[in-house]
Amino acid sequence: MKKLVLIFASILLGITCINAQTYKTREATIAFNPNKDQAHKDYAAESKEATAVLKVETADVALLVPMKTFHFNNALLEEHFNENYLHTDKIPNATYKGKLIGFTKEMLAKDGVYKISSEGQVTLHGVTKTFKAPVKLEVKGKTAIFYCDFGVKAEDYSIDIPGIVKPKLADETPIQTVIKFQLN
Amino acid sequence: MKKLFLYTFLVMGVYAAQAQDDLLGGLVKEDAAVVKQNITSATFKSTRLINMQSVEMTGAGNLQFMISHHFGQIWQKNAGLQNVAQMFGLNAGVANTYLAVDYSPNKWLNLGAASTGNSQFEGWAKFRIIRQQTGKKNIPVTVDWFSSFHADATAGPSISDNAWNRFSYLNQLLVARKFNDNFSLQVMGSLIHNNINTYGVNNTNNTVSVGIGGRYKLTRKSAFTLEYSRQLNNYKNLIDETGTVYSYKPDLLSLGYDWDTGGHIFQFFISNTSMASNFTQLTTNNNKLTAFALGFNLNRSFGIKKVVKVAQ
């Protein structure tokens, strides 16, 4: 009898696990413009192939960005980005693991714009640092879009910018992420 | 009953703690499971090895400007101190400038045009045939095809001089391999066809040349380069219009240093030729192997076709 109850409980547990709602997208967009003069977009790049996953019950988020998917207008710039700055052959991905603060699953059910934030850990160029930034959530019908703008300092992540290029770049590179989930 | 509650809570607790790690872990595992295509990039720093074309192509949608300059011989025998006065060939009155512009409409084609000095012009098409890659497909080398024509626009002997006589064609196969981050090697085979040639038993319209070259990266931004080409025919005991027998030197050796400043790539080299065009370098070289001359290549590329539209 005891064994039966134990088995029954484990199955119940299993069912609740399956019920945990998780949303995933493989087309999250990350864009950045490292120019000191933000009006000039010569060095700007963007990736439209980042993978993001959100677990609604626990407000956990994870993001995986394949660095080679960042494309620049100038092919030589892209080559330098991969070969000299980010060493993408050795460190192919950047990741984020964190929680959404102030997020409730009811937000996904009602159309609107919500101001929340996210806290977690970013791993870029093999270096992990704590992360905290405001997030804007826009829910409209069957889609939920998370917008997060934040700044990254190259030296924080051991990214070596040569002296000849440094004066042209901003001290803190602004990055914009747009993650769109399809709600079912 | 108590034990049952304890058991279920324990399991649930462990599950909750693992949840956050599992989320990223799941993505990482999924990413690792995908067999990717790793295309080798930057086999060389520039689209020119030293004098010859390298397998590198100007990026898709990018426009490249290149200046290639050859000076006079560094040390002329019997000229003594004059060599110093002429700054080892830099100020010797010999300066052959090659001005080129090229554009790649896509990833596998590059079109260019150049002026090689003395009313001579060249135009070319460079094709990327296969790219070195690992992962989904394993291909050990990058192979390019280079086709170029050379037009001689100097004032001709008479108005009735046939325009076709002024053209020469170069067709080249380039095969290169990036062995590791620091070392790349390239071999090339060239066929040069001159539409007109003086009649002579050893003279021919088609010249064949083979070459080998490589680069060794010294630092992230600099590299040492070496290039050697050997003409296989059409250089020994040729006859000109007056019946004089003459010969060319079949070897072309160059040693260079590449310096990448980010926006520009400077290539400084010594080469046993003062000529600016591959056509003359590979078929009518008068310098013997030790008669070196200084030269440099300078190129800059611009992103013309916008692939990134950053909204701000």
DSSP-derived secondary structure for A115-132: EEEEEEEEEETTEEEEEE
Helix, strand, coil distribution of chain B in percent, nearest 5:
15, 45, 40
Look-up of token digits 């990327």:
B128
Shortest CB distance from A79 goes to which of B12, B42, B60? B42
Q: What is the ipTM of this complex?
A: 0.75
Say yes or no to pLDDT of B94 above 60.
Answer: yes
Whether the CB of A82 is below 8 Å from some CB of chain B: the reply is yes
Interface mutation target, options A73, A124, A128, chain B, most CBs of B under 10 Å:
A73
Residue B207 binned pLDDT confidence (cut-offs 50, 70, 90):
very high
Identify the band that residue A15 occupies on the pLDDT scale cut at 50, 70 and 90: very low
Six token digits for residue A137? 């959530």
Contact A58 B42 (CB under 8 A): no
Check whether A180 has a pLDDT greater than 80: yes
Q: Which has more pLDDT, A94 or B13?
A: A94
Which of A1, A4, A76, A122 to mutate to probe the B interface, most B CBs <10 Å? A76
Q: Who among B20, B59, B308 is closest to A46 (CB)?
A: B308
Q: Tell me if chain A has a CB within 8 Å of the CB of B81.
A: no
Model confidence band, residue B11 (pLDDT cutoffs 50, 70, 90): low
Burial class (CB in 10 A: 0-12, 13-18, 19+), A173: middle
Chain-centroid distance, C-alpha A49: 11
- Residue A163 confidence (pLDDT): 80
- Residue B15 pLDDT > 60: no
Are B31 and A51 inside 8 Å of each other by CB? Answer: yes
* Residues 6 or more apart whose Cβ sits within 8 Å of residue A106: none
Rounded to 5 degrees, what angle do the CA atoms A167, A171, A172 make? Answer: 145
B220 near A CB under 8 A: yes
The per-residue pLDDT for range B135-184, each reduced to its tens digit, is 889 999 999 999 999 998 887 666 557 777 889 999 999 999 999 989 99
Please, are residues A100 and A52 in contact by the beta-carbon 8 Å criterion? no
Cβ-contact A148, B246 below 8 angstroms: no
pLDDT tens digits, one per residue of A70-116: 999 888 888 889 988 999 988 999 999 999 999 998 888 899 999 99
DSSP calls for B204-219:
-SEEEEEEEEEEEE-S
Instruction: List chain B residues with CB under 8 Å of A41.
Output: 308, 310, 312
Average pLDDT over residues A146-166: 89
